[in-house]
């Protein structure tokens, strides 16, 4: 029997940001098809990958979610999904995302992030699916010329790694695609630094191998999995010498995608939005908040700066509030509290 349900396709939906986004979309009443190659997600022992199995338990079995283990480099596999299901919109999260790894493996990053996206766009075009929310990144701004960063800030200049260049390249592709036909609705969501976890403690960030980001690494120090946190540089021109970033709760970020989908349904054309809090916190600010949340000291040592790091980077998120009706509401302590709940209840991640 034909399935006449309209679905939102979420690529990379079994990952950290993906699982939280799928949860919020299901809560909002959307039916979801998830595509993920599980390269950075836990398979689990169920028909769904473990993060999505837990999402289904949180939202209830009446919410409709279908999962396919398909790589975006497998164009035929993608086509088969579009043949089977009536896809209405796509939330494109699937990408390689570790800055350091991208320097070591540039071809992998360009292949997955650019070629994978081109495959997706070609299949969307073939099946006349013209609504896309793309997971971009604040890295496209390069070294900030002014702060806070708004969407008019120049992009593509001074990009220091293949990860950032891959996100910038995809943005250019999407702008060219829109300019060529004008019948697409495309929203570029420029993420700042997502941390935290769902307040249930059931889903959260479970990096494969050593975490590449500050908070998951510090949390693993707090639970005794790692000896100490390395703080890269304390001689930046910031209030305590350590790098300042805009951290956003992953649930607020997920809700930004719900708002973006609703905007796509208005036939909005091409739009660009920052998803951040507008507040900059230093590495040591975050460490203090983490220590308060977990009730223990997080051992750290100061080491030299990392190549490519900038002193400060934080957003002006006012356009998203004005046009999407979206705003981050969870503060740094809430981010750390929720991340700690996840980490302490799942010390080995989804294998716990």
Tell me the C-alpha distance between 239 and 272, whole Å: 30
Catalytic residues, by residue number, are: 163
pLDDT at 345: 94
Q: What is the pLDDT along the chain (352 residues), one digit of tens a residue?
A: 457 899 999 999 999 999 999 999 999 999 999 999 998 777 766 689 999 999 999 999 898 999 999 999 999 999 999 999 999 999 999 999 988 889 999 999 999 999 999 999 999 999 999 999 999 999 999 989 999 999 999 999 989 889 999 999 999 999 999 999 989 999 999 999 999 999 999 999 998 778 888 999 999 999 899 999 999 999 999 999 999 999 999 999 999 999 999 999 999 999 999 999 999 999 999 999 999 999 999 999 999 998 778 899 999 999 999 999 999 999 999 999 999 999 999 988 998 7
Q: Which pLDDT belongs to residue 39?
A: 87
Say how far apart CA 190 and CA 295 lie, in whole Å: 33
Has this prediction a pTM greater than 0.85? Answer: yes
> What are the CA-CA distances from residue 266 to residues 174, 186, 189, 261 (Å)?
19, 11, 17, 9
What is the per-residue pLDDT for 43? 75
Q: How far, in Å, CA of 100 to CA of 246, rounded? A: 20
State the Cα–Cα distance between residues 313 and 296, nearest whole angstrom: 28
Q: Do residues 53 and 46 touch, judged by C-beta distance below 8 A?
A: yes
How many other C-beta atoms can be found within 10 angstroms of the C-beta atom of residue 325? Answer: 10
pLDDT of amino acid 15: 95
The whole-number pLDDT of residue 150 equals: 98
Backbone angle region of 70, left / alpha / beta, with phi > 0 → left and psi within -120 to 50 → alpha = beta
Tell me the angle at which helices 116-126 and 162-181 cross, rounded to the nearest 10 degrees. Answer: 20
As a three-state string, the secondary structure of the chain is CCCCCEEEEEECCCCHHHHHHHHHHHHCCCEEEEECCCCCCCCCCCCCCHHHHHHHHHHCCCCCEEEECCCCCCHHHHHHHHHHCEEEEEEECCCCCCHHHHHHCHHHHHHHHHHHHHHHHHHHHHCCCCEEEEEEEHHHHCCCCCCCECCCCCCCCCCCCHHHHHHHHHHHHHHHHHHHHCCCEEEEEEECEEECCCCCCCCCCCCCCCCCCHHHHHHHHHCCCCCCEEEECCCCCCCCCCCEECEEEHHHHHHHHHHHHHHHCCCCCEEEEEECCCCCEEHHHHHHHHHHHHCCCCCEEEECCCCCCCCEECECCHHHHHHHCCCCCCCHHHHHHHHHHHHHHCCCHHHC
DSSP lists the bridge partners of residue 67 as 34
pLDDT at 100: 82
pLDDT of residue 281: 98
């Amino acid at each position: 029997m034909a399935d006449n349900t309209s679905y939102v396709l979420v690529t990379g939906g079994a990952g950290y940001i993906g699982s939280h986004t799928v949860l919020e979309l299901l809560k909002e009443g959307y039916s979801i098809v998830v595509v993920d190659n599980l390269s950075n997600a836990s398979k689990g022992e169920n028909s769904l990958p473990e993060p999505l199995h837990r999402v289904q338990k949180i939202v209830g079995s009446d919410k409709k979610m279908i999962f396919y283990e398909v790589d975006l480099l497998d164009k035929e596999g993608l086509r088969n999904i579009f043949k089977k299901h009536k896809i209405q919109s796509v939330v494109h999260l699937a990408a390689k995302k570790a800055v350091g790894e991208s320097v070591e493996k540039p071809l992998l990053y360009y292949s997955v992030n650019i070629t994978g996206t081109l495959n997706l766009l070609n299949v969307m075009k073939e099946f006349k699916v013209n609504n896309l929310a793309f997971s971009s990144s604040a890295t496209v701004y390069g070294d900030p010329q002014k702060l806070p960063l708004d969407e008019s800030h120049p992009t593509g200049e001074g990009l220091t790694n293949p990860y950032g260049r891959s996100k910038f390249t995809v943005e250019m592709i999407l702008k060219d695609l829109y300019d060529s036909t004008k019948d697409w609705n495309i929203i570029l969501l420029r993420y700042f630094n997502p941390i935290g976890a769902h307040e249930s403690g059931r889903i959260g960030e479970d990096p494969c191998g050593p975490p590449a980001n500050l908070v998951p690494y510090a949390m693993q120090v707090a639970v005794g999995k790692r000896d100490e946190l390395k703080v890269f540089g304390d001689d930046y021109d910031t209030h305590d010498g350590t790098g300042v970033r805009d951290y956003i709760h992953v649930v607020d970020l997920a809700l930004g995608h719900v708002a973006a989908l609703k905007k796509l349904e208005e036939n909005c054309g091409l739009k660009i939005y920052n998803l951040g809090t507008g507040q900059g916190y230093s590495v040591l600010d975050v460490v203090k908040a983490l220590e308060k949340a977990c009730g223990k000291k997080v051992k750290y040592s100061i080491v030299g700066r990392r190549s490519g790091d900038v002193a400060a980077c934080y957003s002006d998120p006012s356009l998203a509030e004005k046009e999407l009706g979206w705003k981050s509401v969870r503060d740094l302590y809430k981010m750390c509290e929720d991340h700690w709940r996840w980490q302490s209840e799942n010390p080995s991640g989804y294998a716990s």
